[in-house]
Chains A and B, each alone.
Chain A
Amino acid sequence: METKNFKTLTAITSVAIFFCLLNAVWVCVQSYNLYTAENNFLTFEKETRFICSAIFYSRVIFSPLYNALLITFLVKQLVAIKRGILFPRINVRIIFLIAVCYFIGSFATDNQALLHFENNPLMINDGTITYTLLFIIFGIIYKVAVDVAEENNLTV
């Protein structure tokens, strides 16, 4: 890869990593404040409390995990490019994990209102489904790219 392109990629990746970290920290802080607030979801009725707890812990676990996986993907990509490998195979699995974590984290975020207002209905955003599917499609195409790149490396 050309030095200029690599430098541009590194710069944009650094900005992306920064925002991923920011988002992960924000989710953790927001979740802590919600957990320690008076009259939080833990005071709701038993049935609702179970669903609210599931949503709360899903968001606490999967949203930062999604950001961590994104950062891992970006770092592994940069390191691999520096070593001359355009598409590292390990990133295929990471992309599919990102898709799963994004779906769960995003679904939990979409239903955050339930943690504040007991009678809110469960909802799913079309963006949650669309972007999850896009991640899966990207993962499949990335896998093809990995296979083609590996074959190209074995072309003399």
Chain B
Amino acid sequence: MPIIVNVDVMLAKRKMTSGELAEKVGITQANLSILKTGKAKAVRFSTLEAICKALECQPGDILEYRE
């Protein structure tokens, strides 16, 4: 998948665990893992909004396009 979600970097910056992020965003850890491992086919704007709010960042900070 050319779109990569770099959540780990922001998690480290905010000193937050995956579990805490999943709880704040309102998704399961399994779904967060799908996102982190690049297996996700799509991300809802509502989920992206919740992630950015929890990590206090911009969408561009966690989304990367790699050919």
In the complex, chain B residues 23-53 whose Cβ is within 8 Å of any chain A Cβ? 27, 31-32, 34-35, 39-44, 47
Residue A15 is within 8 A (CB to CB) of chain B in the complex: no
Residue A1 is within 8 A (CB to CB) of chain B in the complex: no
Residue A151 is within 8 A (CB to CB) of chain B in the complex: yes
C-alpha spacing A155/B43, complex, angstroms? 6
B residues less than 8 Å from A155 (CB atoms): 40-44
Min CB distance B26 to A, Å, is 11
In the complex, chain A residues 95-154 whose Cβ is within 8 Å of any chain B Cβ? 151, 154
Number of interface residues of A (CB under 8 A): 4
Identify A154's interface contact among B27, B32, B39, B47, CB under 8 A.
Answer: B39
A residues less than 8 Å from B42 (CB atoms): 151, 154-156
C-alpha spacing A156/B42, complex, angstroms? 6
A residues less than 8 Å from B44 (CB atoms): 155-156
C-alpha spacing A102/B20, complex, angstroms? 54
B residues less than 8 Å from A151 (CB atoms): 41-42
C-alpha spacing A124/B3, complex, angstroms? 54
C-alpha spacing A151/B40, complex, angstroms? 8
A residues less than 8 Å from B32 (CB atoms): 156
B residues less than 8 Å from A156 (CB atoms): 27, 31-32, 34-35, 40, 42-44, 47
In the complex, chain A residues 37-60 whose Cβ is within 8 Å of any chain B Cβ? none
C-alpha spacing A155/B27, complex, angstroms? 11
Query: Chain A: which residue is nearest B27 at the CB level?
Result: A156
Min CB distance A114 to B, Å, is 53
C-alpha spacing A151/B1, complex, angstroms? 13
Min CB distance B21 to A, Å, is 12
A residues bordering B, Cβ < 8 Å? 151, 154-156
Given contacts A155-B40, A156-B27, 8 further A-B contacts (CB under 8 A): A151-B41, A154-B39, A155-B42, A155-B43, A156-B35, A156-B43, A156-B44, A156-B47
Could you list 6 A-B pairs, sorted by A, with CB under 8 Å? A154-B34, A154-B40, A154-B42, A155-B40, A155-B44, A156-B35
5 tightest Cβ-Cβ pairs between the two chains A and B: A154-B41, A155-B42, A151-B41, A156-B35, A156-B31
